[in-house]
Amino acid sequence: MRSIHVTKPVGILLFTLLLLSTLPFNGCKKDDVDGGTITANLTYPIVDTYQGLCYNNNVQIGPPAKGEAFYGQDAQYTGNSPSYTDHGDGTITDIVTGLIWAQNISSFTMEWSDASKYCDTLTTGGYTDWRMPTVKELWSIRDFSM
């Protein structure tokens, strides 16, 4: 299935509201613990967020050293650089994740259920199997360097 990209102002607001509404219910998950080190067996590629700053509980800090409090933040790791291909037909492929996004959609806001119906009827780039992206998929296109 294809994912649909929501326009930037609407998409950021929608993504933020969606993310905030899921935080209290998701909690944290330990995958594998071995000698105090948590490792995850990922089954999908991770796109680098370009987060470049570290923080403690209150303010920005310098990058903590291994063993120090707040060590291991996103800013201390690099991942796959975002890479996209514009097909010239209204679709963009994310080379890292393999997801195809609709480049332009409606310019007005809508409720989640209406957006889902919009995707169900969308025909772009010759595709008709569009759907709303998951939170993880939305997160994969967010650039945190700004």
pLDDT at 125: 94
pLDDT at 131: 92
- pTM beyond 0.75, yes or no: no
Q: Please give the residue that has the higher pLDDT: either 136 or 39.
A: 136
pLDDT at 41: 66
Annotate 53-104 with three-state secondary structure: CEECCCCEECCCCCCCCCCCCHHHCCCECCCEEECCCCEEEECCCCCEEECC
pLDDT at 114 over 50: yes
Query: What's the CA gap between 31 and 39, in Å, rounded?
Result: 6
Percent of all residues in the chain with a pLDDT value above 90, rounded to a whole number: 34
Instruction: Convert the pLDDT of each residue in 1-56 to its tens digit.
Output: 555 544 443 444 444 444 434 333 333 333 344 444 555 566 677 788 888 899 99
